[in-house]
Structures are given as structure tokens and as C-alpha cells.
């Protein structure tokens, strides 16, 4: 029986190691291909808002997520404001989603656009539910093509 457990443990270790190596390789390939990811978060007392930017060449994708801070969270609709623009230039997009935030991380919105090479883009992501203290996650990232 101990030999069987040793074989299973060794097999599991090899599987986990293989997954970790594949994940690291994918991250290295993305980084070498020019993909950059930057994230910022803000805390509202009951929900953590996270805003991430993925930049690949002139393609920019901002993603906003919300994660409850308590295991007693009851899923409910939460209103958000999500905007992105080129600094000193045009707006890339705006959303006012009101998703049901679950007990786990919930994607709230996504803004994807093409931005001029050499420009800087910015985004703001905030919950706008009445009665909650103000808190906004913001990001400013360069578009290096």
C-alpha cells in the first residue's frame, strides 16, 4: 500500500511540476512577445475593485473585476462606472455595468481598443452604489509598440 501511495504522490508531483513549467513557459512567451499586464485595486469596505490593463502592441484591453471581502456576502447587483481614454486624446470606451457580484471574483466590464503607438492610456473603475464609501481604481499605462 505504501508503494502505491509513493507512486501516486510521485505522479502528482510530476503533473504539478509539468503544469507549473507550462504556465511559466506561456508567461515567458507572452512577455517576450510584448504583452504587458498591469493591475491596480481599490477597497470599498465590502468589495475590492481590481482594474487590469493588457497591452500588446497597439492593442489595449482594460478589465474590471469585483471581489467581496466577506464570506457572508450575499450575491447582489452592484453599479459601476468604467472609463478608458488616451491621455490628452479621445475616449476609448465607457460602461456603466450593474452585474450581480457573486461570492467570488466577478468580471464587471471590459474595454478593448486600438491606441496610437507612443501614447499613454488611462482608465478608471469605481463602484457607484449609493451608501458605499468612494474608492476608484485607476491605471495609466504606456502604449509602446
* pLDDT tens digits, 18-31: 433 444 444 455 45
Q: Is the pLDDT assigned to residue 120 strictly greater than 90?
A: yes
Q: Is the pLDDT assigned to residue 42 strictly greater than 80?
A: yes
Q: Of 96, 89, 103, 88, which is closest to residue 124 (Cα–Cα)?
A: 96
Q: Of 30, 34, 89, 32, which is closest to residue 58 (Cα–Cα)?
A: 34
| SS3 per-residue string spanning 49-84 | EEEEEEEECCEEEEEEEEEECCCCCCCEECCEEEEE
Q: Is the pLDDT assigned to residue 2 strictly greater than 80?
A: no
Q: Which pLDDT does position 46 carry in this prediction?
A: 80
- Rounded to an integer, the average pLDDT of 3-14 is 39
Contact assessment for residue 125 and residue 98, using Cβ atoms and an 8 Å cutoff: no
Q: Which pLDDT does position 35 carry in this prediction?
A: 93
Report the chain's terminal Cα–Cα distance, integer Å: 58
Give the pLDDT band (50/70/90) at residue 33. low
Residues 75-115 pLDDT 10s: 999 999 999 999 999 999 999 999 999 999 999 999 999 99
Amino acid at each position: 500500500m505504501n508503494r502505491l501511495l509513493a507512486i501516486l504522490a510521485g505522479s502528482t508531483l510530476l503533473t504539478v511540476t509539468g503544469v507549473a513549467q507550462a504556465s511559466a513557459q506561456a508567461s515567458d512567451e507572452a512577455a517576450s512577445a510584448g504583452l504587458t499586464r498591469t493591475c491596480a485595486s481599490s477597497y470599498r469596505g465590502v468589495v475590492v475593485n481590481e482594474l487590469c490593463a493588457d497591452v500588446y502592441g497597439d492593442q489595449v484591453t482594460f478589465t474590471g473585476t469585483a471581489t467581496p471581502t466577506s464570506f457572508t456576502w450575499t450575491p447582489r447587483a452592484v453599479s459601476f462606472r468604467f472609463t478608458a481614454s488616451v491621455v490628452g486624446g479621445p475616449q476609448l470606451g465607457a460602461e456603466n455595468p450593474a452585474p450581480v457580484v457573486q461570492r467570488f471574483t466577478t468580471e464587471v466590464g471590459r474595454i478593448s481598443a486600438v491606441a496610437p503607438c507612443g501614447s499613454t492610456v488611462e482608465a478608471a473603475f469605481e463602484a457607484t452604489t449609493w451608501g458605499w464609501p468612494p474608492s476608484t481604481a485607476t491605471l495609466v499605462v504606456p502604449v509602446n509598440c
